[in-house]
């Protein structure tokens, strides 16, 4: 099944900043089927097909060319395909039909992948509206 990844930013102009990637299992994007997404000021949400229980998360030093010393990035990995998505300055996720707020407390840089479910909190439509993200 294809996977859709979308980044939406509340800080974008009227026509919202949206980046999309379609990827069939077994196809590669970038180096080693890794895609990176960088949010901006304000609240940003990365949107994925799939289920939280099929994803792992880890924190690491940023690999961006313009990263400041000590800047970190989140890496999400799909457990079945091994595909990775790098998130920088993204605070929210939607996986399947559910929105989540990333809560990274307790996740140390350099740790092995952890279950994503331990680092997200379910959000409702009202909470999304309050931070300026589109409801669904």
Nearest to 88 by CA among 105, 65, 111: 65
Tell me, yes or no, whether 87 lies in a domain. yes
Q: How far apart are CA 80 and CA 129, in angstroms?
A: 33
**Cα-Cα-Cα-Cα dihedral sign, residues 129, 130, 133, 136:** negative
Tell me, yes or no, whether 136 lies in a domain. no
Q: How far apart are CA 29 and CA 125, in angstroms?
A: 32
Residue-range definition of the domain harbouring residue 84: 3-130
Q: What is the pLDDT of residue 53?
A: 94
Tell me, yes or no, whether 52 lies in a domain. yes
Tell me, yes or no, whether 47 lies in a domain. yes
Question: What digits encode the pLDDT tens for the residues 98-131?
Answer: 889 999 999 998 889 999 999 999 988 778 777 7
Tell me, yes or no, whether 56 lies in a domain. yes
Q: Is the pLDDT confidence value at 1 over 50?
A: no
Would you list the DSSP string of the chain?
Answer: --EEEEEEETTS-TT-EEEEEEE-TT---TGGGEEEEE--SS-EEEEESS-GGGEEEEEEE---TTPPTT-EEEEEEETTT--EEEEES--EEEETTEEEEE--TT--TTPPPEEGGGGEEEE-HHHHHHTTPPP-
Nearest to 57 by CA among 74, 45, 39: 74
Q: How far apart are CA 32 and CA 48, in angstroms?
A: 18
Question: What digits encode the pLDDT tens for the residues 40-95?
Answer: 777 888 888 889 999 999 999 998 888 888 889 999 998 888 888 898 888 888 88
Tell me, yes or no, whether 124 lies in a domain. yes
Contact 95, 56 (CB under 8 A): no
| Tally of domains in the chain | 1
């Amino acid at each position: 099944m294809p996977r859709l990844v979308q980044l939406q930013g509340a800080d974008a102009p009227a026509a919202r900043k949206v980046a999309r990637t379609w990827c069939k299992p077994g196809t590669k994007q970038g180096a080693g089927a890794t895609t990176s997404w960088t949010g901006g000021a304000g609240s940003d949400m990365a949107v994925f097909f799939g289920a939280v229980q099929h994803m792992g998360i880890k924190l690491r030093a940023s690999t961006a060319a313009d990263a400041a010393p000590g800047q970190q990035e989140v890496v999400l990995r799909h457990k079945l395909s091994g595909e990775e998505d790098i998130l920088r300055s993204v605070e929210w996720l939607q996986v399947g039909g559910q929105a989540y707020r990333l809560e990274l407390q307790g996740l140390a840089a350099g740790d092995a992948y952890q279950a994503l479910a331990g680092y997200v909190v379910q959000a409702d439509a009202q909470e999304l509206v309050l931070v300026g993200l589109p409801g669904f």
